[in-house]
Amino acid sequence: MIPNWLLKRSKLTPNRTALSFGDERWTFQELKEEADLIARKLRMNGLEEGDRIALLGPSNPEMVFVIHGCLLAGLEIVMLNSRLSTKEILWQFGDANASLLIVEDGLLLQAGLKDVPMITFSSLQSSGQRDFSVSKMWDESRTITIMYTSGTTGFPKGVRQTAGNHTSSALSSVLNLGLTDDDSWLCTMPLFHISGFSILVRSVIYGMEVRLYEKFDTKPIVDEIRNGTVTRMSVVATSLQRILEEFEKTETVAHPAFRTMLAGGGPVPDDFLKRAESRKLPVLQTYGMTETSSQTATLSSEDALRKSGSAGKPLFFNQIKIRDTEQPNELGEVLIAGPHVTLGYIGHAVNKEPLEDGWLPTGDIGYFDEEGYLFIVDRRSDLIISGGENIYPAEVENVLLSHPKVKEAGVCGQSHPEWGSVPVAFIVSNEDISQEELEIHCRESLAPYKIPKAYYFVDELPRNASNKLLRRELKEWAALN
| Residues β-bridged to residue 428 | 408
Residues 435, 287, single domain; the answer is no
- Give every CB contact of residue 153 below 8 A, 6+ residues apart in sequence: 394
Residues 427, 461, single domain; the answer is yes
Interval 397-443: pLDDT, tens? 878 988 989 988 999 999 888 888 999 999 999 888 999 999 999 99
Residues 240, 344, single domain; the answer is yes
Q: 318, 349, 381: which is the final residue of a domain? A: 381
Q: How far apart are CA 362 and CA 386, in angstroms?
A: 19
Positions of E strands within 113-164 = 118-120, 137-138, 143-149, 157-162
Q: 322, 353, 381: which is the final residue of a domain? A: 381
Residues 271, 347, single domain; the answer is yes
Q: How far apart are CA 9 and CA 203, in angstroms?
A: 9
Domain enclosing residue 392, as ranges: 384-480
- Give every CB contact of residue 324 below 8 A, 6+ residues apart in sequence: 332
Q: What is the largest CA-CA distance in the chain?
A: 68
Residues 336, 398, single domain; the answer is no
The predicted pLDDT at position 152 comes to 47
DSSP characters over 238-307: HHHHHHHHHHHHHT----TT--EEEE-SSPPPHHHHHHHHHTT--EEEEEEEGGGTEEEEE--GGGTTTT
The 10 Å CB-count burial string (b at 16+, else e) for 110-130 is: ebebeebebbbbeebeebeee
Q: How far apart are CA 436 and CA 429, in angstroms?
A: 14
Burial of 276 (0-12, 13-18, 19+ CB in 10 A): buried
Residues 245, 392, single domain; the answer is no
Q: CATH code at 289?
A: 3.40.50.12780
The parts of the chain modelled with pLDDT lower than 50 are 152, 466
Length of the chain measured in residues: 481
The predicted pLDDT at position 49 comes to 95
Residues 276, 406, single domain; the answer is no
Helix (H, G, I), strand (E, B) or coil at 388: coil
Q: 323, 353, 381: which is the final residue of a domain? A: 381
Tally of domains in the chain: 2
The predicted pLDDT at position 394 comes to 77
Residues 321, 394, single domain; the answer is no
The predicted pLDDT at position 384 comes to 87
Q: How far apart are CA 421 and CA 419, in angstroms?
A: 5
Residues 424, 319, single domain; the answer is no
Residues 61, 136, single domain; the answer is yes
Residues 263, 275, single domain; the answer is yes
| Residues β-bridged to residue 143 | 162
The predicted pLDDT at position 59 comes to 96
Q: CATH code at 452?
A: 3.30.300.30
Instruction: Give the pTM.
Output: 0.85
User: Tell me, what DSSP letter sits at residue 449?
Assistant: G
In whole angstroms, what separates CA 225 from the centre of its chain? Answer: 23
| Residues β-bridged to residue 376 | 366
Residues 179, 217, single domain; the answer is yes
- Give every CB contact of residue 306 below 8 A, 6+ residues apart in sequence: none
